[in-house]
Amino acid sequence: MAIEITEFADVSISVSPVGVSGGNFGILGFLTNDEDAATTPIAPAERARSYTSLASVGDDWAATSEVYKAATAFYGQTPTPRDFTVLMTYKNAQPASLTGGNADTLEELVNASWNGSGVLSITIDGDAAAITTLDLSGSASLVDAAATIEAALIVAGATGANVAWTGYGFTVTGTTTGVSGTITAATGDAAESLGLLSYQSSASDGVAAETPVDGLAACLTAGIDWVGTVTHKVYRDVTGGAVGENTLEIAQWCEGAKRIFCNTSNDLSTLSSAISTDVASQLKAATLRYSLTTFSKNPAQYPSASVFGRAASVNFSAIGTTITLNLKQMPGVTAENLTPGEFAVLRSKYASAVVVIGTSTNAYTDSRMASGSWLDTTHGLMWLENRCEVDLFNLLFTSNTKVPYTQVGLNTTAGVLERSLEAAVRNGLAAPGFLADGTFLPKGYRVDAVSLADTPAGDVGNRVYKGLSFVLKGAGALHEVEVAGSFTE
């Protein structure tokens, strides 16, 4: 046989890992509860569900539900946003639940039928059930299959078992509500086909009645990803509720979790300068950077969902794409016909609204956060923080060797940070300009890096570099124009 060429020239090529992607800053999280639908499609084991169109929302939620109304406002924006996530909080105690995935199709279940000896074992609310004769060959639909499984579990000893086909998979729930409800993942060959094994499914013990803050915290703990937060209308303008139910508490939770709270207020006292107990005034007094209040006299509408829908369309990776929400259209939102005095009070409380301007123009104004900052600034800085983190992580993650702790390595790291900041200038978040002390930043930013010689030996030994910092000049946005003129005959 021939001698391999590798005896003389042997080449091996290593492939760098693919860098991680940046975050998605267009996801609206809508917090609803178990009373928003006759049959809530999201069990505690799932906790939240994501959608990418109004049609997909309609697959799970009736057009009369608050979820669908909020989604209609969100998807009614132009350009059309994409990511809408329903977050659950449970006003009523819930039973334990097992949400399955990777289930076989109806045809596969019918054809398998395990020769009438399918095995499925599970423990629900302390009752162990072991089925050894499961047969789904007579099922006309997956709903029928769920009913057959439920009947078999009850006969086998799990008297409180409920089994349903959700359209995505099989869900098994108990009947004991609250923290006493328990459930395990299923075992057996039938369990695998049904998507109920531990690696295929998600289990949750029973859940006690929750406040909206409890629900948001549970979603965060579950790793659900979202940026903007809009709540079911029952959580608007709540000032005297139990702990965890007040609108201010929701806003404060969002502040700590770095989620933009898109608050809607229907309280007419927001328009009164004599009243300072309304929610908008409370949020302003707390100087919350992540809270935006939109006033509306119509409690049936979700203007804040429309507002975030417009912000969600920003492509931070492109050139000149950042926007101000001031004077933007909010399709489907009824404009407020305010007096100049009412409008002035609204502005003084850092609240915004879709208002009638002139004789025929309806537009949103101003998009000021409760801290006095602006929505586009808050949203943009959330993106920038993530961009810097991701770019620096990818520098370390994708290197085939290592980034040396030398001056060359530190310069490389500083260069990566500069490229992150250049992206902020490209999209319009930042721009060349003067700082408050009169310093001019020709690039729109300045990166400061401590040299290797001045880096503490302890940091070098621990392989940590703390010497990078930057100054960034925001591009701002023009919202009003004042002109002084004179006329002479």
Q: How do residues 235-250 score in pLDDT, each as one tens digit? A: 999 999 999 999 999 9
Q: Are 363 and 328 in contact (CB under 8 A)?
A: yes
Both tokens of residue 211?
A: 């406040």
Cβ contacts of 456 within 8 Å, gap of 6 or more? none
Q: Are 106 and 139 in contact (CB under 8 A)?
A: yes
pLDDT band at 17 (very low <50, low <70, confident <90, very high): confident
Answer yes or no: are the C-beta atoms of 183 and 193 closer than 8 Å.
no
Instruction: Give the other-Cβ count within 10 Å of 390's Cβ.
Output: 17
**446-478 per-position pLDDT tens digit:** 999 999 999 999 999 999 999 999 999 999 999
CA gap 145, 134 in Å, rounded: 10
Residues 6+ apart with CB under 8 A from 411: 449
pLDDT of residue 45: 92
Contacts of 175 (CB under 8 A, 6+ apart): 95, 125, 160, 162, 181
- Whether 308 and 76 have beta carbons less than 8 Å apart is answered as no
Of the pLDDT bands very low, low, confident and very high (cuts 50, 70, 90), residue 7 is confident
What percent of the chain lies above the pLDDT cut of 90? 89
Query: Could you report the per-residue pLDDT of 244-301, keeping only the tens digit for each?
Result: 999 999 999 999 999 999 999 999 999 999 999 999 999 999 999 999 999 999 999 9
Say yes or no to pLDDT of 415 above 70: yes
Query: Does domain 95-204 sit in CATH 1.10.1760?
Result: no
pLDDT of residue 123 exceeding 80, the answer is yes
Please provide residue 111's backbone torsions phi and psi, each rounded to the nearest 5 degrees: -70, -35
Start-end of H helices in 206-286: 212-221, 247-257, 279-285
Residue with tokens 């002139």: 358
Is there a contact between 424 and 430 (Cβ–Cβ < 8 Å)? yes
By DSSP bridging, strand 170-177 and strand 95-99 are antiparallel
Residues of the chain with CATH 2.60.40: 95-204
The arithmetic mean of pLDDT across residues 323-347, rounded, is: 97
pLDDT recorded at residue 40: 67
pLDDT for position 354:
98
Instruction: Calculate what percentage of the chain has a pLDDT beyond 70.
Output: 100
pLDDT tens for 360-410 read 899 999 999 999 999 999 999 999 999 999 999 999 999 989 999 999 999
By the 8 A CB rule, do 118 and 190 touch? Answer: yes
Residue range 11-23: mean pLDDT, rounded: 87
On average, the pLDDT of the chain sits at 95
* Distance spanning both ends of the chain, measured CA to CA: 106
